[in-house]
Structure formats: structure tokens, C-alpha cells
Amino acid sequence: MARVALVTGGTRGIGAAISKALKAAGYKVAANYGGNDAAAEKFKGETGIPVYKWDVSSFEACSEGIKKVEAELGPIDVLINNAGITRDTAFHKMSLEQWSAVINTNLGSLFNMTRPIIEGMRARKFGRIINISSINGQKGQFGQVNYSAAKAGDIGFTKALALETAKAGITVNVICPGYINTEMVQAVPKDVLEKSILPLIPVGRLGEPEEIARTVVFLAADEAGAITGSTLSVNGGQYMA
């Protein structure tokens, strides 16, 4: 029987690529999304992957959403915590709302999503939890104190939970993408991209969402059981940890 994989933020950008790659690899995939109904319906129509709408910053919403996914598809074996937002500004101008929104969505969601699932994984003696952090959680970034703090927290969450769950057959790993060719990066002015960003990337190009997705599929496999607590940097050599 195919394993069930749940991808948060799974209908756009990196998340959409992950959802598609997992389906192609034989998983039964559920794609969560937060707000863009049109994009989610388009994704569902193109891929046949069922979509589920809830706010990952709410523990109650996550618990209810997970119950619905498991009722329709079966117990979740693979969890991809990919959902994230930005509210960029210099720290001395940052509001509490900008801080809290990013921390709650980008870091709090890891608790909200993983806590309702972890006991079932422990009981079945199998689980794959893959968190999507960022190069900016490793090195920091001007105007992103909130985002960098949350993404650094994702890395700490991964390492600690990996220690707790290793003997239960559950692996926990984190991927740190660099600049990836998504809508967000495509919105950067071309001259800024060519003069200020690409020269910092040794391979000389943006990463592709599919490259992150292939990394996820690798970590999600049954055969990847010896890899846990790892941080995989997919950034073209821009930052080598």
C-alpha cells in the first residue's frame, strides 16, 4: 500500500514541486494550502492531488485538517513542513504583528503539524518528517530578523526531535534552499537579480523547485532510515555550512 504524504504550502512554488514529485514516486499525496483558492483549484485540476485548506499557524486548524486527511487517505507516514510567509522590514521598524505572523507560521506550524501526527508514527514505528528551512536561517539576512529567527528555529527543532524519535523509526531532517526560481524570486527586479544575487551563487544560477523536490523524495524513502538530524543545503554553493 502506498504511503501517505502531507505537504504544507503544497500547491504553489517549492511545495507544488514537492507534491508532484512525491506523487510521481508513488505516494498518496495531500497538499495543504492557506489562502489562494484559485491556485489550489488549478493545481488540483492539473495534478489530481487532493487539496486541503487550513491555517498552519493554528493548532486547532491543523488538528482538524490532519483528521480529515487521514480519514480520506489513511495514516500520514511522511510530513513535509514547507508552508512559510515573509513580512520583511528592518527590525527597528518591525511591528509585533509582523514578528508574530512569521514566527507562528514558519516555526509554530512545525509544532502544530507534527504534534498531532507524531504519536501515530511512533505507534507504527515509521515516519519521515522533512522541514523546509532557508539559507537565511543559516546565515541571517538584512530585513529578515523574523524570518531568519523562525528558519533557524526550524533547524533546532529538527535536531532535537530527531534525537527523540530515532529509536521509534522516525527520521527528521531539514532542507535549507537558497535562491530558488519561484514566483517570489521572479518578482525581484532583473537588474538586482543579475548584479546582486547571481554573482553570489558559485554555480551561477538559481536553483529549481524540482531540485528541492528531489531532495525531499530522497529523504522520504524507506531506504533513507539512517539519515536523521541532517541539514541539507541546496543553495548552489552560496553558503557552505
So which residues are the catalytic ones? 147
Q: Are 229 and 159 in contact, with CB atoms under 8 Å apart? A: yes
Q: For residue 191, how many other CB atoms are within 10 A of its CB? A: 8
Question: How far, in Å, CA of 117 to CA of 70, rounded?
Answer: 10
Q: Are 163 and 122 in contact, with CB atoms under 8 Å apart? A: no
Q: Is the dihedral of CA 105, 111, 115, 121 positive or negative?
A: positive
Q: For residue 89, how many other CB atoms are within 10 A of its CB? A: 15
Q: Measure CA 180 to chain center.
A: 13
CB-side exposure of 238: number of CA atoms within 13 Å?
Answer: 25
Question: How far, in Å, CA of 131 to CA of 17, rounded?
Answer: 15
